[in-house]
């Protein structure tokens, strides 16, 4: 299976804060494993690999999907790293997460898969659906769906909604106003290292 089902906190300890994967914070300082406190300097390849793993685990995508996004980003004019992040941030599951309708991206993907989310008044059950500026994101017209989203909105995964999104919390309607700016990406990483990783393969 492509979806990661293992211990999430272990991944966060190894790669750093991944807001899309888990809200938990470990009390342990060292990376996991028997040699977690190693002091040797990582190689250039190891640094690039770590950045690539950060983006994979945070957005919940597999290697094949990430490679596809990198190839798509290279075809678009502009900074490949920035465009790659825009593709990933504009996924429907991530957009639902960034609106505060789900505590993590896996939880948002489950909402989408179970048909709780509508885009432009149409049911969309594919988490990788690419949202576009002007899209309206609503909740299925059922009390169970509304209760679920309202419970999630009381404890959002991130404190602030990015500038390209807006949410009417009373009617539970979200709107995509544009493309995300780089400073609003919640993940701390160097996207250029990910482009370098795939250019050297």
Structure tokens at 171: 């009617």
What does the chain come to in residues?
201
Domains delineated in the chain: 8-87+187-199 (1.10.1050.10), 91-178 (3.10.290.10)
CB atoms within 10 A of CB 89: 24
How far is residue 85's CA from residue 55's CA, in Å, rounded to a whole number? Answer: 9
Going 129 to 135 to 141 to 143, the CA torsion angle's sign is positive
pLDDT the model gives residue 199:
83
Closest Cα to residue 94, out of 83, 84, 78, 106?
106
Burial 137-159 (b: 16+ CB within 10 A, else e): bbbbeeeebeebbeebbeebbee
Radius of gyration of the chain (CA): 17
Scan for tokens 């991530």, then name that residue.
Answer: 94
Task: Report how many helices (DSSP H) and strands (DSSP E) the chain contains, helices first.
Answer: 8, 5
Whether 69 contacts 88, CB under 8 Å = yes
Helix axes 105-113, 143-153, angle to 10 degrees: 170
pLDDT the model gives residue 198:
85
pLDDT the model gives residue 133:
93
pTM assigned to the model: 0.84
Q: Which residues pair with 118 in a beta bridge?
A: 123, 138
Going 188 to 13 to 52 to 46, the CA torsion angle's sign is positive
From residue 19, alpha-carbon distances to 43, 89, 157 in Å are 26, 13, 7
- Split the chain (201 residues) into runs of 10 and give each run's mean pLDDT: 65 72 65 59 84 89 91 90 92 91 89 92 91 93 89 77 88 90 84 85 60
pLDDT the model gives residue 33:
59
pLDDT the model gives residue 1:
37
How far is residue 19's CA from residue 158's CA, in Å, rounded to a whole number? Answer: 7
Closest Cα to residue 98, out of 89, 106, 107?
89
């Amino acid at each position: 299976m492509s979806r990661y089902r293992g211990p999430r906190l272990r991944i966060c300890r190894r790669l750093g804060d991944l807001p899309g994967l888990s809200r938990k914070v470990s009390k342990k300082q060292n990376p996991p494993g028997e040699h977690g406190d190693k002091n040797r300097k990582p190689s250039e390849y190891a640094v690039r690999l770590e950045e690539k793993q950060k983006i994979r685990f945070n957005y919940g995508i597999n290697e094949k999907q990430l490679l596809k996004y990198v190839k798509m980003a290279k075809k678009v004019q502009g900074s490949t790293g920035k465009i790659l992040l825009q593709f990933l941030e504009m996924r429907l599951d991530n957009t639902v997460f960034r609106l505060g309708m789900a505590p993590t991206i896996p939880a948002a993907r489950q909402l989408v898969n179970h048909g709780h989310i509508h885009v432009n008044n149409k049911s969309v059950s594919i988490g990788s659906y690419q949202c576009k500026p002007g899209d309206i994101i609503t909740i299925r017209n059922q009390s169970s769906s509304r209760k679920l989203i309202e419970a999630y909105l009381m404890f959002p995964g991130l404190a602030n909604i990015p500038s390209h999104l807006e949410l009417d919390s009373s009617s539970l309607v979200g709107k995509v106003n544009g493309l995300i700016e780089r400073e609003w990406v919640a993940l701390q990483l160097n996207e250029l290292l990910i482009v370098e990783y795939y250019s050297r393969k």
